[in-house]
Structure 1
Amino acid sequence: MTVVDGTCPVVHGANTSMKSGQEWWPNALNLDILAQHDTKTNPLGSAFNYRDELKKLDVDALVADVKQLLVTSQSWWPADWGHYGGLMIRMAWHSAGTYRIADGRGGGGSGTQRFAPLNSWPDNGNLDKARRLLWPIKKKYGNRISWADLMILAGTLSYEAMGHKTFGFAFGREDLWHPEKDTYWGSEKEWLAPSDERYGSVDDPSTMENPLAAVQMGLIYVNPEGVNGQPDPLKTAAQVRETFARMAMNDEETVALTAGGHTVGRAHGNGRAENLGPAPEGADIHEQGLGWNNHVSRGVGKDTVTSGIEGAWTTNPTQWDNGYFTLLFKYDWQLAKSPAGAWQWEPVDIAEEDKPFDVEGTARQNPIMTDADMAMIKDPIYREISERFYNDPEYFSEVFARAWFKLTHRDMGPRTRYVGPLQPTEDLIWQDPVPAGKADYDVAAVAQRIRNSGLSQTDLIVTAWDSARTYRDSDKRGGANGARIRLAPQRDWHANEPERLHRVLGVYEALSAETGVSVADLIVLGGNLGVEDAARAAGVEVSVPFHPGRGDATQEWTDADSFAPLEPTHDAFRNYLQKDYTVPAEELMLDRASLMNLTAVELTCLVGGMRVLGTNFGGTQHGVFTDQVGALTNDFFVTLTDMTYVWEPAGFNAYNLRNRSTGQVEHTATRADLVFGSNSILRAYAEVYAQDDSREKFVHDFVAAWTKVMNADRFDLVAS
C-alpha cells in the first residue's frame, strides 16, 4: 500500500521529546545520578581492558606523530603561524581545568569534553576543531590510546614542541561514553549569566556557591574581560585567587599557570561574533558535530572569532620563553576594544619589534593582556611572584612544569594508577602517597587478636566504614588505604565521633606495633569480622573477602588542607547530618553514593544493612527497624514495607512510624530511611530484600557492596 496523505507514520516525540517523569513531577527524587554504572553505553564491551591495550602502544611513534601533526596545517582550519600548539594546549587545559576540589568532579580524566554540555560551553569555542584535528591520530592508534589521554598528551607535547621541558606525562585515563550526569555546573538558565547568581556577594568571592569553581556558567575559570565583563584587575584578582584555590592551586601555581598558558598561542576576536553559528549541540545535522561556524564571512585563520579578545600575549607565541613577563613589566597597559567588541589591555607606545606577527605572518599587531593577566601585576601578592618569575626564568619554567602536571593529573588519583614510560618517578604530596604495607602475614591469627581486643562489633564496623567512606571516585581520593582516619584532619572530624574513634585507634595502633600489620589493614579486617559476626547472628555463614597489603600514610605526606573537602557533612549510611540543610537528606544521600561509585541497588542494600547493625551516628534509633540490633537481617525492609504502620512527620527530617492498631509509635525515621519506601524505584529494590526468600540474598548482596566500599581505593587489585 502506498501512503499518499503525507502523514508521518511515527508518533512524534514518543521517545525523544515527550516529557520525562522528572518534568511532570519535578520534586520527585531523580536517581539518574546513580545510573552511570551501566556498561551498555561502552562500545568496547565489558571484556575491554584499557591498561592491557596501553601495553601495546608504541609511545615513541605516537609522540612523533602528534608532534608532526602540530606543524602540519590543514586548510579547513589553518594553524596559527603554522603551529597547532596553542590550540592543543587550550584543549588540554580546558579538559583538565574543570576539576574542582570540593567534590573532585570535573577534570580531564574521562574525555567528557567530547559531550554536552562541555563540548558546547562558550569558553570551549572552537575546541571541537582541535579534536577533529586529532582524529587521524586517534584513528591510527585506536583503542591503544583513549581520547582522554590523547587530549592531555597533545597539550603536553605542544609545550615540548615549543621548547619547554615538561615534568612528565602519565597514561591511564579511561574514556566515558556519555556525559557525566552527576556533575553540577550551576543553576543558571543561560550561558554567561552574571556571576552574581552564584555568589552570596560578588564582591566576596568566598561566597561562591559550593562546589562550583568557575565564576560564570560556561567558563572554565574567570571572565577574561573582568568581573561580569567589566575590567578591574584587583576585583578580577580576587576571583582568580578563589577560583584557582577551588581547583587545588596556590598563588604561585596560579601565577605560573596564567603566565605559562599565555606564553604561547593567542586569543581570537577578529570579526563579528554575531556571524557565528550555534555551538556543536545546537548546530544543524549537516554540520556533523562542528559548531561556531561562520557562513557569513571568512571565519578562519586571522579572521577567527573564539573568545572575542584579539591578539597574542607574547612577541614569539610559538616559543617557550619569558616573553610574557618581559612585555607585562616593560610597558604600560591601557584598555582597548577588540574588533569583536571585547575588552582587552594593550601596551602604550610599544616598539615595533616587540609586536607579534598576525597568524598569517603578514603584519605585526599589538600584543594583548586580559584582565586576569593584569591582575598578575596589580595584585600585590601576585606581583611579587611575577617579579620573581621575571627575574628567574628557569625557576618559572620549573614551577610551571610542575603546576601543569598537577593540573592535568590531579583527578587521576595516586601514582599507582599511572601508566607508561613518560611518567615522573617523584612522589608529590597532592598524589596522597601511601607506602606499601605488609601482606605476608597470618590473617587468621591477626583476626583472632582483633576479636580478643575488647572492641565491640559496632566499634569494628563503624570505624571501618568511617575510614573507607571518604573515597571519591570522581578524583580517586580518600578511602581506607593509608588509614588517614588516624591523622589530622580526619581523626577529629565530627562525623567520625572523635572520642569513640580515638579509643578504637588506640587499640589498633597497639596491635599494629605488636604485629607489624598496618592500622589500615586492621581497620578493614576488623570491619569485615564485625559483618561476618552480624551475618552469623542472622543465621547466615559468610566469609567477607579480605585483601591484605594496605599501608599507613604519614602526617608529613598528608596535605591536611586538601583533605578538608573530604569531610563528611552528611552520611545517610549512618543517618548523619552535621546540620539542617536546605537540600533534602535523600538528595545528599544520592550525591554521596555517586561519589562512592555505588549503584542504586548497592545504596539500598548498604543503608538497610547499616541500620539493623546499629551503626547510626551517636547511636540514634532512626531507621533501626528491628528487635535484633547487630544481626544482619532484612528487618529494615520488612518493616518499611509493612502496612501495619502509618508514617507521620515529627519535625525537621524526623518521622514517627505509628502502629495503626495500637496507636503507639514503634519506630522513628529520617527522610533517608523513608525514601526507600516512597520512591518507586528504591521501593522496588526494598521489596526484593523484604521478601521471605531474600534473607540470605540480602546478606550476600550487603557483603558484596561492603567489600566494594572497603576496596574502592585498592587500585593494585584491579591494575593489570
Structure 2
Amino acid sequence: MGDGSQSGKCPMSVDMSNGGHDTTTKVTGRAATQGACPFRGSRIGGAIGSEPQLDTWWPNRLKVELLHQNPIQADPLRDQNYAEEFSNIDYDALKADIREFLTTSVDWWPSDYHNYGPQMVRMAWHSAGTYRIADGRGGAGQAMQRFAPINSWWDNGNIDKSRRLLWPIKQKFGTALSWADLIILTGNVALEIMGFKTFGFAGGRIDAWESDRATYWGPETWQGDEKVGHPGEMVNLNKRWEGGPKEEHWDLENPLGATHQALIYVNPEGPGGSGDPVDSAREIRESFARMAMNDEETVALIAGGHAFGKSHGKVDANKIGPAPEGAPMQAMGMGWQNPEGTGFAQYTMTNGIEGSWTPNPTQWDNDYLTNLFKYEWEPKKSPAGALQWTPVDSDAPKTPDAHIEGKFEPLMMMTSDLALKTDPAYKAICEKFLEDFDYFADAFARAWYKLTHRDMGPVDRYVGPEVPKEVLPWQDPLPQLDYETVNDSDVAELKKSVLDSGLSVSQLVAAAWASASTYRDSDKRGGANGARVRLAPQKDWEVNNPQLLAETLQGLEKIQSQFNDAQSGDKKISMADLIVLAGCAAVEKAAKDAGVETTVPFVPGRTDTTQEWTDGESFEWLKPVVDGFRNYRNEEVSYKVASEHLFLDKAQLLALTAPEWTAISGGLKVLNINYDGSQHGLFTDKPGVLSNDFFSVLSSMEYEWKPQDAHELMFDINDRQSGETKFTATRCDLVFGSNSQLRQVVEVYAGSDGHPRFVRDFVRAWHKVMMLDRFDVPEARAEAMAASWSTAAV
C-alpha cells in the first residue's frame, strides 16, 4: 500500500481531482471511520498488514484452509482441456522459436557466450529440482517457481529474468502452452542446441494460479533473519539437521530434501560453507536420495549439468537488492537488482561463485570430468567472497570470458564438485563415465528425463510427439488394458457375490480404502489402479492390517476366479477393479442398513500390475506417517507436530476439501476400519452401518472429553451424568469437534436433516478417492472430481 511515506493513510483515498495531492483534513468522531481504508493496520514495526495475524496469536492452529488451495475461482482457464490444446500446438514451430531465442541476446539481460542455453538449463533444473520423494511435493508440475517462496530463494537468483526472456514465446502460444511445460521444454531444447541428445519430452503440466501454502520447506524463515552473502551463511545448519557432518548421527529432517534453507539441493561451498569435499559428498548423497536419485543418477546430473555455462559471483551479495517478493513496485516483479556497473553481463551476481567448469561452456563434452580428475585444485575466494577452487597446474586450460571478447579466465570448481572426486563411490562412477562417454550421455539423458518428469505421475498424463515409448520403473508402470471390461449386469452380479461371500462390510471397505488411499496428488503416485495393495511392500504395511487384508484378498480372488472362468471371450475383471467394486458394494449395504438407498458409482478399467513392475523401495515412501482415517500412527517416526496436523497433510495429499475430509472420516469410523481393530472413534453401537453417529456424538454436550494421560494422545468420552466411559478417541477423531471450521461441518451432518446429506457427501467423496489415479479415463475422473464439489439437492 504505497511507499510508506504517508501517515497510515490508504493511497486509495487520495483525491485525484487535485493532481493526486492529499486534500483531506483531520476528522474526528464517527465521521472519521466512514470511507476509511479497508486495509488499515498498525505501521509499528513494518508496513500495513505487518501487525500480528491469526497465525501469530495461535501458531499451532490447524490450517484447514490448506485444503482449499488453488481454488477454481482463481483459475482463468477452468474451462480448458489443456492436454487437448497442447496436443494441437504446432510443436515444430514452438521448438524452432525456442531455438532461435536461445542464440540471441537482449540488452537488458545479455546472454553468456551469446547463448541462453546454460541459463535455461538452470531454470528448468531448479523448477524440477524441488521435488522430494517423501511426500511427492515440489517439482516442475505446476510451475511453482513463479511464486513465493520459491521465486525468492537465493538459489533461484536471477531465474526471474529467465522467465521474462521467455515471455514473448509464452505470449505467442497463449493458453495452449503452460509455463510449467515451457520451462522444461526450453531446458530440453537448450541441451539439444548445445549438442546433447535428450531422452524425450512430455507435455501436460498444468499451471497453478497461486503459491503453494501446504508444503513445508523447512523450519527457518523464508529469507532468513538478515541478508547475507552466501547460502552457507544464511541459517544455522542444525535447524534442519540432527547432529553434524562429522558425527555418526547426522540426519536431515523429514520430509525435507534441500540441505539448507533457500537452496534447491546443497550448499556448493560444502555444509555451512565448510569447503570440505568429504562432508559435501555426504550431504549430496542424502539430498539427492531425498529427491529420488541414486548415486549414478546423482553423478550424471551434476557432471552433465556442469558441462554447460558458468556461475556468477562478481559483486558482494550485501549490495544486491531484495528478492522478487520484496522488490519495490517499479521492479515489476523482478528482484536482485544489482547496482554495480550495468548490473548484468560481467557484473552479474547469483550464488557468489564466479567462473566456468569447462573451456567450452556451450558445448556438450566430457571436459568437466576430464578437468576435475586431471588437475589438482586449490581453494580461493571469488570476487564476491565465496569459497571456490581453481587449478594448481599452470598448464590447465582456461575458459573464455562470457562477455569480454578475447579475455580468458581460469577454470572453476565448487566444493560440491570436488566431492565427486573424493567420495569412493562417486569416484568410481566418474571413472566409468570418463571411460565410456556414450554411457555417460545415456545416463545423463535418463537422469535428466527423470528429474524433469518425476512428478507428472502415470504416463497417461503425458502428451506430445516426443513422449518416449519406453516406460521406466520410476513411472510405476501398469499393464495395458487388453480385455473387455464388465458391464452393468456384470457389476450387479459381482456385487451380489461379494455381499454373499461372508466378508464383512468393514473388511471390504478397509481393503478398498487401503488400495486407493495411497494416492498422492502431489506427484500423482499411488492409488487403486494396479492393485499394488496385493504386493510388497503395501501388503505388509502395519496400517493395512496385513492378516485381515490377506483374508479379504483371498476371498475376493475366489470371486474373481469364478467370474472370469465363467466368461466367454475376452471379458474379465481385474483384482484392482474388484477390490474397488467390493468396497462400493459394502458402502451401499452400509447406507441401506442405515435407512438410505444409494448407488455408489463404479468405473471399470483398472489393470493388475506385478511385483516385478513395482519398485518396493520407492513405494515404501507412500506409507503414511499418520493416517487418521484408520487411526494409524507410525511410532517409528519421530514427531515434531501433532497427529492432527499430519492427518490434515494426508487429507491434502488426497485432494480432499474440508467437508469431504469430514464426511470420509466420520463414515470410515462408523464403518469400523481402524487398522488395529480398536474402538477409537467408533462412536456407535451399530458398527458397519453408515450412520451419522460419529457427528452426533462429537457435537453432543452430554459427554465430557478427558485425556487418558498428560500426552493428550488418547481420550475417554464420559457420560456427564453417570461418569461412565462410553467411547474412546484419538486426537484425529476429536479434531473434527475441536476445530472451529471442521465443527461447522460436523453440525451439518449431525442435524436432524443431516443424515441423508452425509451419506450423499460420503459417497461422492468415496468415489472421488477411488478415481483419483484414473488418468486413463480423464472424463470419468473429471466427473468424479466435479461431483464431489456439487451442492445439488439430496
Range of TM-score over shorter length: over 0.9
1:115 maps to 2:157: no
Q: Is the Cα–Cα contact under 8 Å of residues 574 and 607 in structure 2 kept in the other structure? A: yes
Corresponding residue number in structure 2 for 1:386: 430
Q: Are the structure 2 counterparts of residues 4 and 700 from structure 1 closer, same or farther at C-alpha, using a change threshold of 3 Å? A: closer
Q: What letter corresponds to residue 677 of structure 1 in structure 2? A: G
Q: What letter corresponds to residue 295 of structure 2 in structure 1? A: D
1:705 maps to 2:750: no
Q: Is the Cα–Cα contact under 8 Å of residues 436 and 550 in structure 1 kept in the other structure? A: no
Residue in structure 2 matching 1:524, options 577, 580, 598: 580
CA distance in 2, matches of 1:241, 1:83: 32
Task: Name which structure has the greater RCO, CA cutoff 8 Å, separation 6+.
Answer: 1
CA distance in 1, matches of 2:734, 2:284: 43
1:424 maps to 2:472: no
Corresponding residue number in structure 1 for 2:555: 507
Q: Is the Cα–Cα contact under 8 Å of residues 81 and 360 in structure 1 kept in the other structure? A: no
Show structure 1 runs of 5+ residues with no match.
Answer: none
1:440 maps to 2:500: no
CA distance in 2, matches of 1:208, 1:519: 39
Corresponding residue number in structure 2 for 1:467: 515
1:491 maps to 2:524: no
Q: Are the structure 2 counterparts of residues 464 and 120 from structure 1 closer, same or farther at C-alpha, using a change threshold of 3 Å? A: same
Q: Is the Cα–Cα contact under 8 Å of residues 315 and 340 in structure 2 kept in the other structure? A: no
Show structure 2 runs of 5+ residues with no match.
Answer: 1-14, 16-21, 28-34, 42-47, 225-233, 565-571, 783-794
CA distance in 1, matches of 2:406, 2:648: 57
Residue in structure 1 matching 2:449, options 374, 383, 405: 405
Q: What letter corresponds to residue 694 of structure 1 in structure 2? A: G
1:678 maps to 2:738: yes
Corresponding residue number in structure 2 for 1:42: 75
Q: Are the structure 2 counterparts of residues 265 and 355 from structure 1 closer, same or farther at C-alpha, using a change threshold of 3 Å? A: closer
1:690 maps to 2:750: yes
CA distance in 2, matches of 1:631, 1:216: 50
Corresponding residue number in structure 2 for 1:668: 728
Corresponding residue number in structure 2 for 1:637: 695
Identity fraction in percent: 52
Q: What letter corresponds to residue 641 of structure 1 in structure 2? A: S
Deviations 1:287-326 (A, max 9, x none): 1111111124332112111111000111100011111112
Q: Is the Cα–Cα contact under 8 Å of residues 590 and 689 in structure 2 kept in the other structure? A: yes
Residue in structure 2 matching 1:193, options 235, 251, 254: 235
Q: Is the Cα–Cα contact under 8 Å of residues 695 and 746 in structure 2 kept in the other structure? A: yes
Q: Is the Cα–Cα contact under 8 Å of residues 358 and 365 in structure 1 kept in the other structure? A: no
Deviations 1:613-653 (A, max 9, x none): 11122221111111221111111111111111111111341
Corresponding residue number in structure 1 for 2:37: 10
Q: What letter corresponds to residue 126 of structure 2 in structure 1? A: H
- 1:5 Cα deviation from its structure 2 partner: 2.4
Q: Is the Cα–Cα contact under 8 Å of residues 66 and 157 in structure 1 kept in the other structure? A: yes
Q: Is the Cα–Cα contact under 8 Å of residues 463 and 523 in structure 1 kept in the other structure? A: yes
CA distance in 1, matches of 2:388, 2:55: 43
Aligned residues: 719
Larger displacement relative to structure 2 (500-509 or 381-390): 500-509
Residue in structure 2 matching 1:349, options 393, 404, 410: 393
- 1:362 Cα deviation from its structure 2 partner: 2.9
Residue in structure 2 matching 1:585, options 634, 638, 643: 643
Deviations 1:154-202 (A, max 9, x none): 1111000101000000000000011111110001135431322111112
- 1:270 Cα deviation from its structure 2 partner: 1.6
CA distance in 2, matches of 1:368, 1:456: 67
Q: Secondary structure at the match of 2:313?
A: coil
CA distance in 2, matches of 1:382, 1:629: 56
Q: Is the Cα–Cα contact under 8 Å of residues 37 and 599 in structure 1 kept in the other structure? A: no
Q: What letter corresponds to residue 655 of structure 1 in structure 2? A: F
CA distance in 2, matches of 1:55, 1:166: 20
- 1:6 Cα deviation from its structure 2 partner: 7.0
Q: Secondary structure at the match of 2:776?
A: helix
Q: Is the Cα–Cα contact under 8 Å of residues 495 and 585 in structure 2 kept in the other structure? A: yes
CA distance in 1, matches of 2:153, 2:120: 17
- 1:150 Cα deviation from its structure 2 partner: 0.5
- 1:663 Cα deviation from its structure 2 partner: 2.1
Q: Is the Cα–Cα contact under 8 Å of residues 436 and 549 in structure 1 kept in the other structure? A: no
CA distance in 1, matches of 2:249, 2:471: 33
Q: Are the structure 2 counterparts of residues 670 and 243 from structure 1 closer, same or farther at C-alpha, using a change threshold of 3 Å? A: same
1:605 maps to 2:663: yes
- 1:153 Cα deviation from its structure 2 partner: 0.8
Corresponding residue number in structure 2 for 1:570: 626
TM-score normalised over the length of structure 1:
0.97
Q: Secondary structure at the match of 1:263?
A: coil
- 1:357 Cα deviation from its structure 2 partner: 3.6
1:213-224 paired onto structure 2 within 5 Å:
213-224=257-268
- 1:11 Cα deviation from its structure 2 partner: 5.0
Q: Secondary structure at the match of 1:548?
A: coil
Q: Secondary structure at the match of 2:529?
A: coil
Q: Is the Cα–Cα contact under 8 Å of residues 267 and 309 in structure 1 kept in the other structure? A: yes
Please give the root-mean-square deviation of Cα atoms over the aligned residues, in Å: 1.8
CA distance in 1, matches of 2:639, 2:336: 41
- 1:454 Cα deviation from its structure 2 partner: 2.2
- 1:40 Cα deviation from its structure 2 partner: 1.1
Q: Is the Cα–Cα contact under 8 Å of residues 70 and 209 in structure 2 kept in the other structure? A: no
Q: Are the structure 2 counterparts of residues 41 and 134 from structure 1 closer, same or farther at C-alpha, using a change threshold of 3 Å? A: same
Q: What letter corresponds to residue 390 of structure 2 in structure 1? A: E
Larger displacement relative to structure 2 (537-546 or 578-587): 578-587
Q: Is the Cα–Cα contact under 8 Å of residues 354 and 382 in structure 2 kept in the other structure? A: yes
Q: Secondary structure at the match of 1:340?
A: coil
CA distance in 2, matches of 1:576, 1:33: 22
Corresponding residue number in structure 2 for 1:64: 96
- 1:275 Cα deviation from its structure 2 partner: 2.0
